[in-house]
Structure 1
Amino acid sequence: MSELSDTTEGALALSGSGYATPASGLESPSLFNPAAGTDAPTAYEVKYLLTEEQVAEVVDRVTGKLDLDAYADPAMGNAYITTSVYTDTPNFDVFYRNEGYNRDKFRVRRYGHTGPVFVERKTKNGDKVRKHRVRISADEVPELAAPALNGEWAGEWFHSQLLQKQLQPVCRVAYERVAYLGTADGGTVRLTFDRNIRGVLVREWKLEPVGAVPALLDKVVCEFKFRTAMPALFKGIVADLGLTPAPVSKYRTFVQAAGLAPARTVNV
């Protein structure tokens, strides 16, 4: 098995995939190395639901200030496909935010049709976010179903959490993403626009494309990602367009749309 740790969202490319490493070497603000401990700066991800007209205005405001990220495909209008397999317990403890499951999401994500694959833990507390991820090969994804591994794999920590928390694949969600990366107010920032978000039920560890199914949302999910404090660039956009945060979750939206979890009070 390969052992290639990665803390850069969109920075490392698979040989021959057509994706390049950004010359800037910038990382997504929400990515952290666990060795950094609690002393690392806080990262934030603030989401908004936008119309296409609002998206055009935001893009106009950041053009020349932020760069398209490494996965941008001109043939797709600078978008790229992002596909994720989300996990939960048989009782949907992650969805209901039950104790022990109310902060972390464990998922497998692929960028592009043939791009790099990552196992990832996303820890969220309000708008505060931390992600830890490790790159694996696409051929290794089915091995996540194994009852035990040899302990020598880069994704062993992820597999161990799956077993400990009784997590299993629930759905595969895909969307077209346009992403920008750069610096503002002296810190790294990232801006993403996600369209045509769709999902299918899964019970296996597969990252096949999601076919032609209805979109889960009729607006564009926009995320501002930054550390410590929202930069003036983003503050100006929010103020001028009168934007209001929308705590939308792609996983939760799919579970609700599919009627997978019975209606009941969800812990906040």
Structure 2
Amino acid sequence: MSELSEPTENAFGSSPPPSALESPSLFSPGATEEAATAYEVKFLLTEAEAAEVAARVHGRLALDPYADPAMGNAYLTTSVYTDTPNFDVFYRTDGYDRDKFRVRRYGAVGPVFVERKTKNGDKVRKHRARINPDDVSELVASELNGEWAGEWFHSQLLQLQLKPVCRIAYERVAYLGTADGGTVRLTFDRNVRGVLLSEWKLEPVGAVAPLLDRVVCEFKFRNTMPALFKGIVADLKLTPTPVSKYRTFVRATGLAPVRSENG
């Protein structure tokens, strides 16, 4: 499954079409930690650098089938991020230092997913489930009936005392395909912006000042970085830059009390 539904037709030569591929960091809930290995390497790029990277994958990777030509082949991504009242996720308190729980919508009225993202250095794995957009409000319930696709997510919210903190949106241009025999994904995120939030609402974020003045670029792959990406990094002299949209928002807004962060 790709990240949206109802893909449009998009030829991809002799390789599988993007709609037939999954993002490398998506794993089934039964996958072991050792087997569920993927990497996301991030870069902060100028527009000129982003254009050069895109040119280097032209003909090698295909635009995500949900690319909207009216948006410059981008699509809107909106996420609600969660944390505890003490901002344990932000501060990487023990027990909160690897997982982020969020609800994500693709497009202004597109599909909605509940998602857990687990990160250890550059290693990433994600587990998510698609839910009915009308069911987002169910996340405030103290208990559920055990038959809902988002039950596991809801249980983690209760156990970890997680609540909505902010809603962050951006426009994403994504490429997907295969390289060195494995699935790879390349994304460019622009106009990253956010607003404070205390309710489970997924409305698009309006015209507020962007949090970053660069393009957030991610190389996503399994096991080892493919030659395609290695060549881009070497030729363009790119430097990996850890960047978290959620943490950037919290710092920019002064939302969390001032104290040292772990890690």
Q: TM-score range by the shorter chain?
A: over 0.9
User: 89, 98, 113: which one pairs with 1:94?
Assistant: 89
Structure 2 gap ranges (5+): 11-16
Q: What is aligned with 1:47?
A: 42
Deviation at 1:41, TM superposition (A): 4.7
Q: Does 1:222 align with 2:199?
A: no
User: 5, 16, 19: which one pairs with 1:12?
Assistant: 5
User: 165, 169, 194: which one pairs with 1:199?
Assistant: 194
Count of residue pairs the alignment pairs up = 256
User: 66, 69, 74: which one pairs with 1:71?
Assistant: 66
User: 205, 222, 233: which one pairs with 1:238?
Assistant: 233
Deviation at 1:263, TM superposition (A): 2.1
**TM-score if structure 1 supplies the norm length?**
0.93
State the alpha-carbon separation in 2 of the partners of residues 68 and 170 from structure 1. 32
User: Aligned with 2:154: secondary structure?
Assistant: helix
Deviation at 1:11, TM superposition (A): 5.0
Q: Once the two structures are superposed, what CA deviation does each residue of 1:70-110 show, in whole Å capped at 9, x if it has no partner?
A: 22001001001000000000000000000110000000001
Q: Once the two structures are superposed, what CA deviation does each residue of 1:158-216 show, in whole Å capped at 9, x if it has no partner?
A: 00000000000000000000000000000000000000000000000010010100000
Indicate the percent of aligned positions where both proteins have the same amino acid: 76
Structure 1 gap ranges (5+): 1-7, 14-18
Deviation at 1:265, TM superposition (A): 1.4
Deviation at 1:10, TM superposition (A): 1.6
Deviation at 1:20, TM superposition (A): 3.9
State the alpha-carbon separation in 2 of the partners of residues 201 and 135 from structure 1. 24
Q: Once the two structures are superposed, what CA deviation does each residue of 1:9-55 show, in whole Å capped at 9, x if it has no partner?
A: 42534xxxxx4487441000000002122352510000000000001
Matching residue's letter, 1:195: R
**TM-score if structure 2 supplies the norm length?**
0.95
8 Å Cα contact 1:9-1:31 kept in structure 2:
no
State the alpha-carbon separation in 1 of the partners of residues 33 and 80 from structure 2. 28
Q: What is aligned with 1:124?
A: 119
After superposition, residues 27-176 of structure 1 pair within 5 angstroms as 27-176=22-171
Change (3 A) 1:11 1:40: farther
RMSD of aligned residue pairs (Cα, Å): 1.2
State the alpha-carbon separation in 2 of the partners of residues 253 and 160 from structure 1. 27
